[in-house]
Amino acid sequence: MVMLFGPTSSPFTSQFVKNKVAEQWQTKYPDSAKALIDYTYMDDGLMSAETVEKAKHIALGCIEILKSINWQLIGFQSNSKEFLKSLPEDHVKKELKPILSSAYDLQSYTTKVLGAVWDPVEDCFKYMYDNDFVKASLSNGHIPTKRDQASTIARMFDVRGEVTHFIIRGRILLQRSWKQGLGWDDTISEDDFKLWIKWLQDLKAISLLKIPRRCSTSINSLLQAERIELHVFADAGKEAFAAAAYFVIEVQKCRQSALVMAKAKVTPLKRNTRTEISQMPRLEMTACLIAARMAHTIKEFHAHLSFKIYMCKLEKFAIPMVEEILDKTERNEWNYVSSDQNPADKATKFQKFDFSDPNSIWFKGPAFLLLPEQSWPKKDVEETTNNQKLTIATCQALIKPTQIVINNFVLPPIDCQFSSNLIHRLPNSIKSNWMKLIRLIARALKLIELVKKCAAKEFRPNRKDAMELEPMDYEKAELFVARQMQYDVYSTEYKALAKGYPISNKDFLALRIFMDSNGILRINSRVNLDPDIYPQKFFRSCPGSTF
C-alpha cells in the first residue's frame, strides 16, 4: 500500500487499514493485535512486556499480521539484547545490529521515542540540546531579546516533566519580560540577563543526566513488589506552582522511590495589566488541583503540601477546584510537609540546585518516603473550625446564595396532576409558540387564583379587569413552564435538591445548581458576583431537549 505524502486523508487511511487488519487477526494474535491498535502512534509503536518471551511473541505476531498486507515492520529497538537476537536481523534497527554479535558490545546509542531521547543500551532517558545555539547565546556578551528567550525555551521538550523544575525557570524569566512590556525584539533587563546566563549554564548540567526508564532497579523488583505507593507533592509560589508524583516500591521491606511525572506552570497574568495573580490561596488551590488530577487514575495515594489550606474560608473561585479535588481524592490522603521536604518547592522558587544529580530530592523524593509510614510527617491539613466533614455537599452549601431578592409566587405543587397535564395535553400549535403558551398558562394560573379568592369571598364578580394579565402573571407563567421542564428531565436531581439531599450528577456539580424559593433550578455562575441584578445573574437551568 502506497500513501501520498501530504494529503489530509493519508494518516487516517493508513491508521484505518492497520487497525482493520489487526482486528481480523485478534483471534490468532490477541496481544499483537492490541499492540497495533492501542500502542502505535502514526508510524511508531511503543510498548513493554514483562518477559523476553512475551515481547518476542508480540513482536513476531505484529510482523505476521502486517506481512499479510505486504507491510514490513523494520527498525525494532529494545533494551534487551536477547529480544533483538530473537528477531529476524532485517527487522532490527540498523544502528543496533552490532550488538547482535556476541563479540561486540555497543557502549551507547540514543534514539527518539515519541519526542523523548532514549538510550536503549543503558536503558535511560537523556536530554539533549543544541550546543552550538547555546554557545552562540553565551558568547560575546550577547544580550538576548524576548524572541530569543521564547525560541530557546521552545526547543526543550519534556514529556513527563522530569526536568520541569529547570524549564520552569526559563519560563519565569520569559514571563518577566512580558510583565515589563518588552517587544519581541527588545533586549531583556540587566538583572534578568544575569539570571538568564546562569540558566543557560545550568543547561549543560541537564545534558549530563541519565534518568532510568524503570521506576525500580530491576524488572524483578517490580514483579515481586509487595507494595507500590504513589506520593504526590504540590507547592505554589509567587511566580509558579507545581506538582510532582513519585512511585515508592517496597520489596522485602526495602523501599525505593523514583519520579514518575511532574508539572509546573507559571502564575497566570491578569488581563491587560500584565501583573501576576498574587493571591496565594488561589495558587495553592490550583497546585492541589494539578496534584489531584495527576493521581486521578491511582486509587490509593498520599498527597503532601508545604502550605496550609483553611477549608472554612473558601472563596467562590475555589469551590469548583475543591469539588473536583474531592471528587478525585479523599480527605485522609492529604498531609502537610515542610518546604525543605517538598520536591515541588524546587520548581516554584529560584534556589541554588544541582540539576545534574540524579539522586537529588527532585528525582528520588524526600528521604521519609523510604521510611515506614509511622515515620512520615503527620501534620495534617487544617480543617474547618467546627470540624465539619468537608464533602461535595458541604462545598455546595458554602456557595449557596445567602440573600436572594426575588418575587415569590404561589405555584401549584410540582407533583400534582394539574401541573403535569396542563402543558402535556396542550396541542402542538400552542406549545410551538412561546408567547401563546405563556399567555395560556398565565390565564390558567390567574383563573385558579380568582377561584380561590371567590371561595374565600375575596373576589368581586363585577370587576371587569379581573382576568387582565399583568407583567407579574407572565413572569409567574414562565417560572411554571421552566419548573415543569426541569422536573420532567431532571426528576431525580430535582427531588433530591428539594429535600436538601446531596446529588451525584457531575454535570449538576460542575454548574453548582441550586433551587430557589420558587422551586426553580438555577446556575450559580461567576455572574453572581454582580450585586445589581437578579434573576439574570442566576440563570434558569433549562434542558435543551425540552425545546
- Spell out the per-residue pLDDT of the chain, length 547, in tens: 566 667 788 888 888 888 999 999 999 999 999 999 988 887 788 888 888 999 999 999 999 999 998 888 888 888 888 888 888 888 888 888 777 766 556 667 788 887 788 888 888 888 877 777 777 777 767 788 999 899 888 888 888 888 999 999 999 999 999 888 899 999 999 899 989 988 988 888 888 888 888 877 666 666 677 888 888 999 998 889 999 999 888 888 888 888 988 999 998 877 655 555 557 778 888 888 888 888 886 665 556 666 554 444 445 556 677 778 877 877 777 888 888 889 999 888 888 888 888 889 999 999 988 888 888 877 655 544 444 454 544 444 444 333 333 445 566 676 666 666 777 777 877 877 888 888 888 888 888 878 777 776 665 655 555 677 888 888 888 888 888 888 888 888 888 888 777 777 777 777 777 777 778 887 776 555 444 444 444 455 555 555 4
Tell me the CA distances in angstroms from 148 to 157, 386, 457, one per residue in order: 17, 54, 85
Q: The C-alpha cell of 253 is what?
A: 521491606
One domain, residues 284 and 350: yes
Residue 207's closest CA among 148, 128, 269, 142? 128
Host domain of residue 150: 107-208
One domain, residues 467 and 343: no
Sign, CA torsion 305/311/314/317: positive
**Rg from Cα positions in the chain:** 32
Domain-embedded: residue 215? no
Tell me the CA distances in angstroms from 59 to 44, 50, 86, one per residue in order: 13, 13, 10
One domain, residues 234 and 355: yes
Q: Return d(Cα 514, Cα 498) in angstroms, integer.
A: 9
One domain, residues 14 and 133: no
Matching residue, cell 535511560: 124
Decide which of 89, 106, 123 is a domain's last residue.
106
**Residue 171 near residue 266 (C-beta atoms within 8 A):** yes
One domain, residues 201 and 299: no
One domain, residues 236 and 361: yes
One domain, residues 326 and 276: yes
If one counts the domains in the chain, the total is 4
One domain, residues 82 and 125: no
Q: Return d(Cα 258, Cα 363) in angstroms, integer.
A: 6
Domain-embedded: residue 216? no
Whether omega before 461 lies within 30 degrees of 0, making that bond cis, reads no
Does the pTM surpass 0.75? The reply is no
One domain, residues 249 and 324: yes
Calculate the dihedral angle through the C-alpha atoms of 411, 413, 416, 417, rounding to the nearest 10 degrees: 10
Decide which of 208, 238, 257 is a domain's last residue.
208
What is residue 459's predicted lDDT score, i.e. its pLDDT?
58
Q: What are phi and psi of 427, to 5 degrees?
A: -65, 155
One domain, residues 90 and 112: no
Domain-embedded: residue 409? no
Tell me the CA distances in angstroms from 91 to 67, 71, 85, 87, 121, one per residue in order: 12, 12, 10, 7, 18
Residue 164's closest CA among 355, 426, 303, 383? 355
Residue 462's CB is within 10 A of a number of other CB atoms, namely: 5
Domain-embedded: residue 35? yes
- How would you label 128-149 residue by residue, b for 16+ Cβ within 10 Å and e otherwise? eeeeeebeebeeeeeebbbebb
What is residue 186's predicted lDDT score, i.e. its pLDDT?
92
Domain-embedded: residue 303? yes
Q: Return d(Cα 357, Cα 488) in angstroms, integer.
A: 62
Q: Is 222 left (phi over 0), alpha (psi -120 to 50) or beta?
A: alpha
One domain, residues 70 and 153: no
What is residue 272's predicted lDDT score, i.e. its pLDDT?
54
Q: The C-alpha cell of 435 is what?
A: 408567547
Decide which of 175, 208, 241 is a domain's last residue.
208
Query: What CATH number is attached to the domain comprising 284?
Result: 3.30.420
Domain-embedded: residue 410? no
Domain-embedded: residue 244? yes
One domain, residues 94 and 151: no
Domain-embedded: residue 1? no
